[in-house]
Amino acid sequence: MLLSAAIRKSLASHHSRRAAIGIGHIGQFSVRSAHSSIARGAIKVLDVPNNPSLNNGINAFSTAAAAVNEHPATPSSPTPSPSREVADENPFVPTTERQYKFFRNVELTPSGVAIIRFDNPDKKVNTLSFALMREAEGLWEDEIGSNGDVKSVVFTSAKESGFIAGADIFDISSVDDKASLVPVIEEALQFFLRMKSKDVPMVAAIHGPALGGGLEWALWCDYRICTDSSSTKLGLPEVKLGLLPGFGGTQNLPALVGIQGGMDMMLTGKDIRPPKAKKMGLVDMVVAPQSLESVAIATAEGLANGTIKKSKPKKKSFMNRLIEDTPPGQNLMWDKVQKMVDKNTGGNYPAPYAIIDCVKYGLSHPKGLDKFKHERQGFAKLAATQESSALIGLFDGMNQMKKSSSSADPIAVKKVAVMGAGLMGAGIAQVTAEKGYDVLLKDRDDASLGRGVSYMNDNWGKKHKRKRMTKYQFNLNTSRVTPLSDDTESWKRHFSGADLVVEAVFESLDLKRKIVQQVESVTPDHCVFATNTSAIPIADIAAPGDEVKRPENIVGMHYFSPVPSMPLLEIIPHAGTSDEALATAFAVGNKQGKTCVVVKDVPGFYVNRCLGPVLVETTALVKEGVPIEKLDDAMKRFGMPVGPITLIDEVGVDVASKVASYLSEADLDVRMNGGDISLMSNMVEKGWLGKKSNQGFFTYEGKKGKKIGPDVTSYLKDFTGGKVSDMSEKDIQDRIASRLVNEAAKCLEDEIIENPVAGDIGLVFGIGFAPFKGGPFRYLDSVGVTSYVDRMNGFADTLGEQFEPCQLLKDYAASGKKFHG
């Protein structure tokens, strides 16, 4: 484990006094990885060529802390209830061939190795549910506990999809009184202790994901073996759902891999791949998938007869002993961890603090079971928080978004063509090739094409260097991409086999219609044409005429930049889009790893439409004399990844100005009033384009960071007339947030989005709306629609009609309804 430079410096300065040693890789903890992987939003406003945007990608939820569930959550019940699979109308009936619902029949080898295979036939992945744990207790008691012939045990999975993908989160969310989870978790802990009391070696044989409760199960074993498959990953990602590991993970993981390694895993929720897992001592052996079971059985035999020793925690280096095993080292370590969590969560997420508390409690209470009691009590408290409810709601919503609203079957897509090899086009080509499609990447000339190919290869090269991709996968991805230019004589022949074409060219209606005409002339009749426009109405691109002969095949697929990092995809059908084209776009987007939200064909679609009033309100606050640093700080404390001023600089002042101007002339009417967007247009005339030109609201000085220069100070003084406002942080937050939330509600009212779930997912995944608030609609539910409408009415009375709540909000306020249950 490497110490960061800052900690090394601290160590050097204090070593003579036997003080302060800190922690290295905990310093890598980020909001993005810490909660739902989405708290560091990246914004793409309107696509313009070579426009850099926030490069803080939002990664989608991992299947980790809980497995993907194909069904909606069950209604709440007052006490812990069985998982949905147990409540089926056709309950499981044991037979000779299948004695257990969640396990294959136990196999006992001649040498006394009991092989227990997880296998839930009703799900694609194994999950730990209340029902599985109860069945496991019965299995152990009947077949293992008192069976003298059992000398050792191997736990593995009968599924190719993986070991155990985590706990069934809907078992947790279905419980009203979260305190009642404590005895349920205690029962599970007692089961693990009974397993250990058998005093026979236990081996976890892991292929695919071993996440959350799955890894915690493996941590109770004496030996862990995993495969070298790219699908194998280990982790405790409960923090992403606002929870902590509840089956002993906060105690067993640090004991095995050290405090630093354990805290890094639990605070970030990151996945650990096999090579690193072996290096850090998380697993004892890495083998090929085809060898896993035979090696596990042989290992279990060796552990039983003494020829193989039980796994022990990896020996610590001198530096790590100094950090983790001495009071001065621990003091500085915890101080650094606390500061890093404070910095990256803003105190908005309780789970990291609870994890820290559990680990520290275990260190001070190493003997007995109190540490496990403390852990499960902490779990139940977190499960009852609004933050966890919001994050679980987002996770559930993401899974709901995987289902297309179209009843039609998508066409079979094997080959995807991408028109335009710029930042967007190359990104689309990259994620498409990575998912197994053959890709045609075309641009007007070889130079433009080369830049796109280099972009992809550079990204894949970084993944390979960081051991996130094998050399074989790197070569496979590059082999799937066929680069083509106008000068490539065979490009028409290649396009004749395309099933889907995605255009990512300049924002010009004439150019896009010309591209449609060009594509339709060389592609088969079934080929779907998707436009990545972020401004031009899809209906205008698809309007029948000389250029367009198959308008029913045209649909919008609005990606967010950078495409490889951003999980959201807006899919926009126009009135004439066929159900098959819509279903095809949705299926391809899903396979690309995107969370797809279907949006009506209106100016700005959904995400950018909601962003417009925010830009206007930002200019209004600046005009009133609110310091720009105060604006940024207020919205970051609200929970946004960056403040509005930094956002404008990051996406480009020119781009933000274009958005504000475009939407001001669109159909949002008074909702785009109240500000002065010349704030940005004047800056564009000065050449202050934001971070990309090193000068926007802030002056950027490379590694030195950013500052407000004298020219901007003078400009803002002229713009405000010298006014300086002492407006409260709460007023700033409410004014900006209410403009965003009201527009989201108006989009729901106008059926631009299908439901509140889509609205929450769109703004959390699209602009990083505070994940711990769950999105705009869960936020409204939590603060109360009635009180929010009253707050907006107060603003409307004093500031103008741009703050008047939309009719849907008024209706919900009058009825007391909630957007989510």
Question: Which residues are identified as catalytic?
Answer: 570
Query: Contact, 561 vs 655, CB < 8 A?
Result: no
Whole-angstrom distance, CA of residue 691 vs CA of residue 700 = 7
Which strands, in side-by-side order, build the sheet including 223-227?
Answer: 107-108, 113-118, 152-157, 202-206, 223-227, 285-287
Query: Contact, 664 vs 677, CB < 8 A?
Result: yes
Q: Which residues contact 331 (CB under 8 A, 6 or more apart)?
A: 19, 20
Q: What is the DSSP string of 504-566?
A: ---S-HHHHHHHHHHHHTTS-TT-EEEE--SSS-HHHHH--SSS-S-GGGEEEEEE-SSTTT-
Query: Contact, 138 vs 191, CB < 8 A?
Result: no
Strand partners, 443: 485
Strand partners, 154: 115, 203
Whole-angstrom distance, CA of residue 703 vs CA of residue 100 = 60
Host H or E run for residue 116: strand 113-118
For tokens 């279903």, the residue is: 583
Query: Contact, 292 vs 207, CB < 8 A?
Result: yes
Q: What is the DSSP string of 585-626?
A: HHHHHHHTT-EEEEB-SSTTTTHHHHHHHHHHHHHHHHHTT-
SS3 706: strand
Name the DSSP class of 672.
Answer: G
Q: Which residues contact 753 (CB under 8 A, 6 or more apart)?
A: 597, 598, 599, 600, 606, 744, 747, 759, 762
SS3 755: coil
Q: Which residues contact 645 (CB under 8 A, 6 or more apart)?
A: 618, 628, 629, 631, 632, 697, 698
Host H or E run for residue 400: helix 386-400
**Six-digit token pair at 113?**
């190795």
Q: Tell whether omega for the bond before 562 is within 30 degrees of 0, i.e. cis.
A: yes
Q: How many other β-carbons are positioned within 10 Å of the β-carbon of residue 95? A: 8
Q: How many other β-carbons are positioned within 10 Å of the β-carbon of residue 706? A: 16
* Terminal alpha carbon distance of the chain: 47
Sign of the CA dihedral running 248, 249, 252, 255: negative
